[in-house]
């Protein structure tokens, strides 16, 4: 057995030793849930940890072990678990009912808070998830323009509807030619019909020329361009300066609806407010629901007026739990306790994390770089940080086991991250936790050096001399 394989075995054995109750839960769950889980992203080998509770910025597994939460439900949470203001608001509301079969004042109170923060959000509507929000934004763009085609980014993730699952960076699908046959083939997830490719065209991220080219060749046919300002599942790649400004200019020129999917980037400010680029429509979810399911789509008042029943042909928008009182009670408390100071705190944590991870990779002598923006970070092996989904795919190719071992070793060290590499923080996370995480990450890479030497020698670097992590601030502060 090679030294690398021995290391891999030790990490997996330790994981099994630490989490026997999760192993048993996995066996029990697999009787009802294919794969023992109900979310593809949270399932991993040999079995995922099953959590029973969360408190602040930590979660506890079935064996009673606490983990620092460095994933924040895949970026969907910002307030930590069991935040007093959110919990109290939900308790109060649940005694009055969850969904009362009519409009409620909670809806416009929450909407007013959102509009006050996001000027482009002149009018909005509620649904139950980011998937629904982006689906509605696309339909709204089509209804407004009377056109069919949507331009989407390679590796852009907008949830699980058919249009969103075109080249959504969920490897495992099949490739198909696009509407413009000289464009790179699109990947469709199993079950997504190739007929969607009559109405979806994909272009690389951070490439405004590609958008210009498609808009000019499909002039008069494109309803909307949908883009995440930071390519999330596609690798945490931030928009280059000027990229989305140029896409904005092009879409205005051609009367195309520009949609920013800010489901993940609300935690940055949201992005459009931080960077001063105004889309026609935006989508939000996650944070704005304070830990309960929510989706929001909205934007220009003239476009959103399509939903008003006073229109000759209003767009029919029904949703049994859209705008439900419980999500809005939690969401209102979340918005009231997530202001500039909290966003700045997340930004500082994210920057500290990324520079710490880069230093950790250097100290371990393993080629890797962090990417991301604000409180949204990824780490990729290799020398060059990806600029689009193809770059992310290249950084990940053939390195699935290595990334899985990093994830498992971090769990063994008591830190919960996402297997695909996402790292997000809560407003209740303090800098000492980030510093401790960076140290655990450095240890992880050092432990894995023999594995890297055996399987990925191209990633090995000479170890430079110097401290593995940046010095801790004397009094790392927690936000609360
Ligand atoms: C940018 C973006 N859009 C849409 C979604 C889909 O949201 P949901 O999982 O609530 O359907 C996500 C979820 O991760 C997301 O990050």
Which domain CATH number covers 290? 3.40.640.10
Q: Which residues line ligand 1 (CB under 6 A)?
A: 74, 129-131, 134, 157-159, 228, 232, 261, 263-264, 285
Task: Report how far ligand 1's centroid is from the alpha carbon of 205 (Å).
Answer: 18
127 located within any domain: yes
* Same domain membership, residue 298 and residue 211: yes
71 located within any domain: yes
CATH number of the domain where residue 426 is located = 3.90.1150.10
* Same domain membership, residue 324 and residue 185: yes
* Same domain membership, residue 141 and residue 74: no
pLDDT value at position 152?
98
In which residue are the tokens 């006073």 written? 310
pLDDT band (50, 70, 90) for residue 1: confident
Alpha-carbon separation of residue 317 from 87, 137, 292, 321, 460 (angstroms): 30, 12, 21, 12, 55
Task: Report how far ligand 1's centroid is from the alpha carbon of 156 (Å).
Answer: 10
* Same domain membership, residue 239 and residue 350: no
* Same domain membership, residue 392 and residue 272: no
* Same domain membership, residue 72 and residue 49: yes
* Same domain membership, residue 371 and residue 330: no
* Same domain membership, residue 204 and residue 305: yes
What is the C-alpha to C-alpha distance for residues 214 and 15, in angstroms, rounded to an integer?
49
* Same domain membership, residue 75 and residue 144: no
Which of 291, 317, 336 delimits the end of a domain? 336
* Same domain membership, residue 271 and residue 184: yes
Alpha-carbon separation of residue 68 from 49, 65, 81, 376 (angstroms): 13, 10, 11, 16
Task: Report how far ligand 1's centroid is from the alpha carbon of 258 (Å).
Answer: 18
What is the pLDDT of the chain when averaged over all its residues? 94
311 located within any domain: yes
317 located within any domain: yes
Active site residues: 157, 261, 286
Residue among 360, 356, 371, 324 at smallest CA distance from 463: 360
pLDDT band (50, 70, 90) for residue 51: very high
pLDDT band (50, 70, 90) for residue 169: confident
pLDDT value at position 468?
43
* Same domain membership, residue 158 and residue 237: yes
Of 131, 162, 271, 375, which is best to mutate to test ligand 1, by the most ligand atoms within 8 angstroms of its C-beta? 131
Per-residue pLDDT, averaged over 349-374, amounts to 97
* DSSP assigned state of 312: S
* Same domain membership, residue 256 and residue 233: yes
363: domain range?
A: 3-81+339-459
Q: Output the six-digit token pair for 363.
A: 């100290």
pLDDT value at position 41?
87
Which of 300, 317, 336 delimits the end of a domain? 336
Looking at the structure of the chain, the number of domains it has is 2
What is the C-alpha to C-alpha distance for residues 312 and 309, in angstroms, rounded to an integer?
8
Locate the ligand 1 atom nearest the alpha carbon of residue 228 and give its number.
1
pLDDT value at position 172?
81
265 located within any domain: yes
């Amino acid at each position: 057995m090679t030294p690398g394989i021995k290391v891999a075995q030790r990490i997996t054995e330790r994981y099994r030793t630490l989490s026997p109750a999760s192993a048993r839960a996995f066996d029990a769950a697999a009787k009802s849930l294919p794969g023992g889980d109900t979310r593809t992203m949270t399932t991993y080998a040999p079995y995922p940890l099953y959590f029973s509770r969360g408190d602040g910025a930590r979660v506890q597994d079935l064996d009673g072990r606490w983990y620092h939460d460095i994933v924040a439900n895949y970026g969907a949470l910002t307030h930590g678990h069991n935040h007093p203001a959110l919990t109290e608001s939900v308790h109060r509301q649940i005694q009055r009912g969850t969904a009362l079969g009519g409009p409620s004042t909670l809806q416009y109170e929450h909407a007013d808070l959102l509009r006050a923060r996001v000027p482009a959000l002149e009018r909005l509507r509620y649904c139950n998830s980011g998937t629904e929000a982006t689906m509605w934004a696309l339909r709204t763009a089509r209804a407004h323009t009377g056109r069919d085609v949507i331009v989407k980014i390679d590796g852009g993730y907008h949830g699980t509807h058919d249009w969103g699952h075109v080249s959504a960076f969920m490897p495992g699908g099949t490739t198909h030619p696009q509407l413009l046959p000289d464009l790179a083939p699109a990947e469709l997830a199993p079950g997504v019909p190739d007929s969607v490719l009559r109405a979806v065209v994909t272009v690389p991220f951070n490439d405004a020329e590609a958008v210009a080219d498609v808009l000019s060749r499909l002039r008069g046919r494109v309803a909307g361009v949908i883009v995440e300002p930071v390519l999330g599942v596609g690798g945490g790649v931030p928009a280059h300066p000027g990229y989305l400004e140029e896409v904005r200019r092009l879409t205005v020129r051609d009367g195309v609806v520009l949609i920013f999917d800010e489901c993940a980037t609300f935690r940055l400010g949201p992005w459009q407010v931080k960077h001063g680029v105004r889309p026609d429509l935006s989508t939000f979810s996650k944070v704005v629901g304070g830990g309960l399911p929510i989706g929001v789509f909205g934007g220009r008042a003239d476009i959103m007026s399509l939903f008003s029943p006073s229109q000759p042909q209003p767009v029919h928008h029904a949703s049994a739990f859209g705008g439900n009182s419980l999500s809005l009670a939690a969401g209102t408390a979340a918005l009231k306790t997530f202001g500039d100071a909290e966003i700045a705190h997340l930004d500082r944590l994210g920057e500290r994390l990324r520079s710490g991870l880069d230093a950790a990779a250097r100290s371990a002598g393993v080629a890797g770089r962090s990417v991301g923006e604000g409180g949204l970070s990824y780490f990729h092996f290799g020398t060059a940080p990806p600029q689009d989904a193809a770059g992310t795919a290249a950084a990940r190719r053939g390195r699935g086991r290595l990334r899985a071992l990093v994830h498992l070793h971090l769990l063994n060290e008591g830190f919960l991250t996402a297997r695909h590499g996402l790292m997000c923080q809560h407003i209740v996370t303090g800098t000492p936790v980030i510093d401790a995480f960076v140290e655990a990450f450095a240890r992880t890479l050092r432990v894995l050096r023999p594995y890297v030497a055996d399987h990925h020698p191209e990633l090995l670097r000479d170890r430079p001399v110097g401290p593995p992590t940046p010095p801790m601030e004397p009094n790392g502060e927690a936000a609360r």
